Structure 1
Amino acid sequence: MANSSVGPVLRTAVPEDLPRLRAIARAALVHDEDAEAVIDLLWTEADLHPALRVVAEEDGVPVGFALGSVRAATDTAPRSGHLNLLAVNPACQGRGLGRALLVDLERRLGEESAARLVIRGNPPNYAWPGIDIRYTPAICLAESSGYLRGKEGLNMRVDLRAAPLDTAADEKRLAEAGVTVRRLRSEDEPAFRRWMLDWGGAWEGEGAKSLTYDTPRGHVAVRGEGKETRFVGFACWGVNRLSWFGPMGTERSERGSGVGTVLLRRCLADQRAEGLDVAEIGWTAPIHFYALAVGAALGRVFWTYTKELP
């Protein structure tokens, strides 16, 4: 393809571009087997701000794109503009297309009143904690464009073929102690969502998404049933990406009882039943817990970035 002397044409992407964007993602995201599904996820995230879908084209053909989103201000952070994904066809890399897309998306995020630019997952619809450090050109682009590196995110991998996922004995022991572990049900939604708000952050939204599947992709630990139901633990899987596990939480009063291990193993068993050989525990915090419970090992490393706007 000829490289035009006037540079690429940048415009707002439209649904008709999606087949080409999926193809670009498939070629560029070599460390993500579900790249096409990621595009659909992040495209939906931009529904409230369609202008944050940018495509670069040469000779009328899309050769790169960028997808963004906005997060409302909180008590501790200003309104932020998230750079969710930037990808360029490998055959067209090295010509400044990535930088042109980044600059244009930054401008558009500024027009959406973002005071801070962020390269970090924007839950509940997110694909990564940040930039996978194996995508070296993306790291170089961010750091040469004034972004400051922040906290890193870690994923762990679980070999579902070898992991100990049986929970029968532990569930019996918990039941004798008054705790029932079961699949999340559609009728749980009102009470479950109210309870999830207590966890803060974006977990309520992710938990709610687990209920949108025909078979809910979540399990809960409860004390009591019916109007007396009290949730004491939860775990979800495949909320955004089929192979990813999380989020998960256990009430402090139940920690150490084995509730978390049962919830984790039940979710991983679901993923194995879906035909997966490997699951990823996303944005991991308690590394020791996962290693002990299912033999999880550290896997992907992500760097997050921020950049202040005037």
Structure 2
Amino acid sequence: MPDLLVKLYELPALAPLQERLLAAGIKLRHPLAFEKKAVVEWVNREFGAEWASECEVAFARQPISCFIAVQDGKIIGFACYDVTAKGFFGPTGVTAEARGQGVGRALLLAALHGLAEMGYAYAIIGGAGPVDFYRKAVGAIEIEGSEPGIYRDWLPTGERT
């Protein structure tokens, strides 16, 4: 899976998508520090220990470099940024039941706008799975020769609790 480059100075607006999600009872927000355990445990349960470890790093930042999508008091998605490496987007995930509603796109935009607010002009989406999604959503372009990128020597835990 290649790395992708995103121009943060040409991002689509987030507000219209947020308003649509709010109308459906879905709120995007930064988690609060005391929610760390709940968020990290949810990510571990839904997506595995590696992503949970990266999510944990987000809570060491101020502001916390993660967004969550919440519906009916439950997390349905998350997106971290500036955790895997400086200027990187991800990890990100949405529950199977919540897919197809624009939650993933909204989390992507929220995180990328977060990187732009930190002063970055570009973001990297490392080891991007759904390349076409990122191309359509934010105009991401493939970085030639980027596979396997920073993930070449990773130590997988293989754990899910």
Query: Which TM-score band applies after superposition, normalised by the shorter structure?
Result: 0.7 to 0.9
Report 1:27-176 matches (<5 A): 153-164=1-12, 166-176=13-23
The equivalent residue for 2:147 is 302
SS of residue in 1 equivalent to 2:2: strand
Asked if the contact 1:234/1:250 (under 8 Å) is kept, the reply is yes
TM-score (norm 2): 0.86
Residue 52 of structure 2 is aligned to residue 208 of structure 1:
no
Report 1:228-247 matches (<5 A): 229-247=73-91
Aligned-partner Cα distance in 1 for 2:51–2:135:
23
SS of residue in 2 equivalent to 1:154: coil
Aligned-partner Cα distance in 1 for 2:40–2:147:
29
The equivalent residue for 1:188 is 35
Residue 92 of structure 2 is aligned to residue 248 of structure 1:
yes
Unaligned runs of 5+ in 1: 1-152, 306-310
Asked if the contact 2:11/2:113 (under 8 Å) is kept, the reply is no
Whichever residue aligns with residue 33 of structure 2, its letter is S
SS of residue in 1 equivalent to 2:115: helix
Deviation at 1:175, TM superposition (A): 1.1
SS of residue in 2 equivalent to 1:280: strand
Deviation at 1:285, TM superposition (A): 0.3
Flag the structure with higher strand content.
1
The equivalent residue for 2:24 is 177
> Which of 136, 140, 143 lines up with 1:292 in the alignment?
136
Aligned-partner Cα distance in 1 for 2:58–2:28:
16
Aligned-partner Cα distance in 1 for 2:119–2:41:
33
Deviation at 1:191, TM superposition (A): 1.2
SS of residue in 1 equivalent to 2:22: helix
| Number of positions where the alignment pairs a residue of Structure 1 with one of Structure 2 | 148
Whichever residue aligns with residue 287 of structure 1, its letter is V
Counting aligned pairs with the same residue, the percent is 30
Residue 105 of structure 2 is aligned to residue 261 of structure 1:
yes
Unaligned runs of 5+ in 2: 154-161
Runs of 4+ with >6 A deviation: none
Q: CA RMSD in A?
A: 1.4
What whole-Å deviation, never above 9, does each CA across 1:79-127 have from its counterpart, x for those lacking one? xxxxxxxxxxxxxxxxxxxxxxxxxxxxxxxxxxxxxxxxxxxxxxxxx
The equivalent residue for 1:197 is 44
Whichever residue aligns with residue 120 of structure 2, its letter is L
Considering Cα pairs closer than 8 Å and 6+ residues apart, tell me whether 1 or 2 has the greater RCO: 2
Aligned-partner Cα distance in 1 for 2:40–2:112:
23
SS of residue in 2 equivalent to 1:213: coil
What whole-Å deviation, never above 9, does each CA across 1:13-64 have from its counterpart, x for those lacking one? xxxxxxxxxxxxxxxxxxxxxxxxxxxxxxxxxxxxxxxxxxxxxxxxxxxx
The equivalent residue for 1:280 is 124
Deviation at 1:187, TM superposition (A): 1.8
Aligned-partner Cα distance in 2 for 1:237–1:207:
9
Deviation at 1:299, TM superposition (A): 0.8
TM-score (norm 1): 0.46
Asked if the contact 1:210/1:239 (under 8 Å) is kept, the reply is yes
Asked if the contact 1:184/1:217 (under 8 Å) is kept, the reply is no
SS of residue in 2 equivalent to 1:222: strand
Asked if the contact 1:250/1:259 (under 8 Å) is kept, the reply is yes
Deviation at 1:242, TM superposition (A): 2.1
Moved more, 287-296 or 167-176: 167-176
